[in-house]
Structure 1
Amino acid sequence: MQPINIATHRLLSQKIFNSDLLTPAEVVSHLGAVQAQDYTMSKWGIGLRIPQATDSQVEQAIKEGQIVRTHIMRPTWHWVAAQDLRWIMALTAPHVQQLVASMNRKLALDDQTLQKASEVMATALAGHNYLTRSELMAQIEQAGIITSDLRAAHLTAYAELNCLICNGPTRDKQITYALVDERIPATQPLSREEALGKLALKYFTSHGPATVQDFAWWSGLKITDARKAVALVQSNFINEKINDQLYYFLNSPSISTHSVHLLPAFDEFMVSYKDRTASLSPNKHQEAITGNGIFKPIIVVDGKVTGIWKKVISQKQTKVQTSFFDTHFESGLLEKALKEYIHFLEN
């Protein structure tokens, strides 16, 4: 398997091409988790994996709590399916808490302060009383806890990592917070070994071909835990050594993957691998990913990143501005991809 085969295989496993998924919850559960710090772009990341999807369809899934947005891995915002939230959080949160502990100390957020803020949030949000961040922080300020200088982000992240709160439905285009126990039905807890195996199974099914190092990067788990997780499920996958790296993947149907896709900023196709050279040439890295780790919306042709794009509003109409790295790419497939994105936004 050559590098380009890795890229086109990922189009299939990630359900970017030839998807049979029908709902946002199916997409998010298939992928395990979907990076979501860019709220609008991340909805398109879900929608492009559903034939004829619309923004309103994704928003409805959010409103109904079928998918929820929270800090769960690395740490950054992710979408996660309701039924997967608790067991993934139980697995990944301890390591994320270790990663943010030093910053909590710098912000003078000791355990007592963090716990007190969580208690205020629990009271303020009780009874499905969805609040925006500013509304929630006002409640915490009234309790005598300062929320400035990044403290607000760390206070809410602490409550998220303890599975107390998550994002609720949007209100007047503003993101709200909600109590997890009011938004998501209880689920059966998994042992740590069961959770490790289940997360690895999801990742390599939906992201393969990928390496143990890719899985450790995506999940935020320590490399020792990543190796243990892979060992638990490796019999489910084909493995093949390419350029001294061992890749795990499901065998896929032999179909043509000639295609063009407009992928959003931070899409799983790019962000979920430590090694991205199968799809992105090293000499084009800085054009698609900035020095401070911002992933731009990308144009992917047959699994290779060939340019970037952005949404523009012209004469009250939504249009897409494309910028190709080398030569301008014109085809019916590009036009089809543009129409799919506009259809998603306008419905």
Structure 2
Amino acid sequence: MDDHRLADLRVYNQHINNPKFKNPEDVVKTMLAMQAQDYAGAKWAIGLRMQKANEALIEQAITDGKILRTHLLRPTWHFVSPYDIRWLLALTRPRIDSINAGMYKKFELDAAILNKGNDVFAKALQGNKQLTRAELVEVLNQNSIPTDDLRFTLLLMHAELDAVICSGARVGKQFTYALLDERAPATPQLSRQEALTKLAEAYFNTRGPATVHDFATWCGLTIADCIIGLENVKQQLASEVIDGKTYWMPNDIEEVSTKHKAYLLPAYDEFAIAYKDREALVNPKYLAQARHVIFDPVVVVDNQVVGNWKRTIKTSKIDISLNLYGKLNKQQLKAVEAAVKSYQKFME
């Protein structure tokens, strides 16, 4: 298996070139967690994995709580299903709290203050209230909890990790927070072994072929934990050794047609962010130009990155500007034009 074949299979397993979903919440449920700090881009990441989608449909699913947005892995923002958020938080919170410990100490956020913050949020949001960041700042200040510098962000993240708050519906362009207990159903608790198994199963079935180090990079857990999860599911997976590295993937992997297909992918799409080694995702001629493949929206042709793109929103239309790293043939250019129209249609 060469790098191009790796990219082919990843694009297929990530449901980019075989979008089968009708509902946005089904995309998120299958992918388990999708990076979402670039909110507009993350909505497109869901949409391009659907048969038919538009931005309004996905925004409505978020408004209705069918998709939640919270700090979940590594830590950064992720979209997650309300049916998965509790066991995922229980699994990842200890690791993230240890990562954040230095920042808690720097901003004098001891256990007593963090717990008081949780209580203040819970009281303010009780009864299906959804408050903006500015409103929550005021609530904390009224309860003698300073919110200068990064303290407010850390207090919010801690409350998210403790399963107290999560995303609410947006008010205009403002994000809100709501009580998790009022947005997500109670679900059975999983043992750590069960949670690691479920995490590994979802990852390798939707991001494979991938290595255990890719898995650890994606979820932010230790290699030891990731090995445990993989060991519990590897009998259900296929594997192949490439350059001394073992790649794991679904057993029922299919042949993939890659010719003359193009996609506009957002920044932080799982296509790139889900792996430690991303060279297979980039046309070998353009490795230098694509060094920011995680952070830039990318143009993908025949399942490898060949350029960047950006949007400009105007009153009556959305303009897409392309920065292609090299020449494409006529069929590839036609595929890129179709990808541009697909995004514009999504935004309509």
- TM-score, normalised relative to structure 2: 0.95
Q: CA deviation at 1:22?
A: 1.6
2:39 match: 39
> C-alpha separation between the residues in 2 aligned to 1:253 and 1:223?
29
Q: What amino acid does structure 2 have at the position aligned with 1:274?
A: K
SS of 1:254's equivalent?
A: coil
What is the alpha-carbon distance in structure 2 between the residues aligned to residue 223 and residue 203 of structure 1?
14
Say whether residues 1:253 and 2:259 are aligned partners.
no
| Distance (whole Å) between structure 1 residues aligned to residue 53 and residue 283 of structure 2 | 30
Are the equivalent residues in 2 in contact too, given 1:289–1:295 (CA < 8 A)? no
What are the superposed Cα offsets for residues 204-236 of structure 1, whole Å, 9 maximum, x if unpaired? 000000000000010111000000100000011
- 1:196 and 1:229 in contact (8 A); partners too: yes
Match of 2:126 in 1: 126
Q: Map 1:232-251 to 2 at 5 A.
A: 232-250=232-250, 251=252
Q: SS in structure 1 opposite 2:338?
A: helix
Contact 2:8-2:256 at 8 Å conserved across structures: no
User: In structure 2, what is the equivalent of residue 322 of structure 1?
Assistant: 322
Q: Deviations along 1:143-175, whole A, 9 cap, x unmatched?
A: 111111111110000000001101111111211
SS at match of 1:214: helix
Tell whether 2:126 aligns with 1:145.
no
The alignment-based identity, stated in percent, is: 43
* Cα distance in 1, alignment partners of residues 291 and 171 from structure 2: 32
Q: What pairs with 1:1-347 in structure 2 (closer than 5 Å)?
A: 1-250=1-250, 251-258=252-259, 259-280=261-282, 284=286, 287-290=289-292, 295-314=295-314, 316-328=316-328, 331-346=333-348
Do the aligned partners of residues 73 and 22 (structure 1) sit closer, same or farther apart at CA in structure 2, a change above 3 Å counting? same
Shift of 1:302: 1.3
- Structure 2 CA distance for aligned equivalents of residues 215 and 38 of structure 1: 22
Amino acid at match of 1:139: V
Q: Which runs of 4+ in 1 moved over 4 A?
A: 281-286
Using the size of structure 1 for normalisation, the TM-score is: 0.96
Amino acid at match of 1:337: A
SS at match of 1:82: coil
CA contact (8 A) 1:262 1:297 kept: yes
Aligned to 2:83, the other structure's residue is in SS state: helix
- Contact 2:4-2:280 within 8 A present in 1 as well: yes
TM superposition shift of 1:277:
0.8
1:282 to 1:104, Cα distance in 2 relative to 1, 3 A? farther
Aligned-partner residue type, residue 159 of structure 1 = A
Encode CA deviations 1:48-103: one digit per residue, 9 max, x unaligned.
10012111111111111111000010000000011110111111111011000111
- 1:295 & 1:174 partners in 2: Cα distance? 23
* Counterpart Cα distance in 1 of 2:287 and 2:96: 27
Structure 1 portions without partners, runs of 5+: none
Change in CA separation of 1:315 and 1:158 when aligned onto 2, cut-off 3 Å: closer
User: How much does 1:30 deviate?
Assistant: 1.2
Q: 1:147 to 1:287 in 2, by over 3 A?
A: farther
Structure 2 counterpart of 1:11, which letter?
V
User: Are the counterparts in 2 of residues 289 and 296 from structure 1 also a CA contact under 8 Å?
Assistant: no
SS in 1 for 2:279: coil
Deviation at 1:257, TM superposition (A): 2.4
SS at match of 1:83: coil
Q: Give the CA RMSD over aligned residues.
A: 1.5
- Preserved contact between residue 35 and residue 42 of structure 2 (Cα < 8 Å): yes
Q: Unpaired runs of 5+ in structure 2?
A: none
Letter matched to residue 41 of structure 1: G
- Can you list the C-alpha shifts for 1:82-135, whole angstroms capped at 9, x where unaligned? 111011111111101100011110011111111111111101111111001111
Shift of 1:188: 1.0
Partner Cα distance (1:344, 1:242) in 2? 38
Separation of aligned partners in 1, 2:284 and 2:126: 50
Rounded Cα–Cα distance in structure 1 between residues aligned with 2:88 and 2:305: 31
Deviation string for 1:269-316 (max 9, x for gaps)?
0111001011125774564454xx961100011111100000013564
Q: 3-state SS of the aligned residue for 1:238?
A: strand
